[in-house]
Amino acid sequence: MNLKLAGLPCLAMVILMTSNAPKAEAACASLLDHSVRHLAGEQVDRLCDTYQGQVVMIVNTASKCGFTPQFDGLEALYRKYKDQGFTVLGFPSQDFGGQEFADEAEAADFCRLTYGVQFPMYATTHAKKGKAHPLFQGLAEAAGGDYPSWNFHKYIINRKGELVGSFGSFTGPSSGRIARVIEDALGS
């Protein structure tokens, strides 16, 4: 028995319908499965939707810290590798010494005007163990319990959404170790 629908064999109709079906989205990597608000703004990004498939460095920052000059190095990394699929995401935090401006607009202006920060900055966020935002809790757990112990802790996530590096405050953005992890992640 030869079944036809609208003059086409059923198999051909199934093929046509399947080829026009919406493609399933790639599963969201758990480390990026968070929605976060932009610094001093209302826009909210779902990190998966915005950064999945990229190499991502997530950093807890502070504007009035001895490590604050690391903004220069973070911006340099961002500019050097952004066209290869790399980004830096900054999350100001009050957790360590209260070294961030209370007003987010002031923090945003400071980063942009003092250090020329162009990489994305998100809302003030807890990073410290015991009160960490789920983003930082997931990063720390993936790093074997390596929570930030001060400002400018850096986590690096590869294109698959896996943590491939965790660096404390004393490892600056210009470190060769950080560059190797980023370059390895970009190459894989």
Backbone angles phi, psi at 37, to 5 degrees: -90, 145
Query: CA 101 from chain center: how many Å?
Result: 22
What secondary structure does DSSP assign to 40-99, as a single string?
TSS-EEEHHHHHTTSEEEEEEE-TTSTTTTHHHHHHHHHHHHGGGTEEEEEEE--TTTT-
Here the tokens at position 112 are: 């942009």
- Please tell me which residue in 10, 28, 48, 65 is annotated as part of the active site: 65
φ, ψ dihedrals at 160, nearest 5°: -85, -5
**CA atoms within a 13 Å half-sphere pointing along the CA-CB vector of 63:** 21
Our answer to whether residue 48 is catalytic in this structure is no
Residues acting as catalytic residues: 65
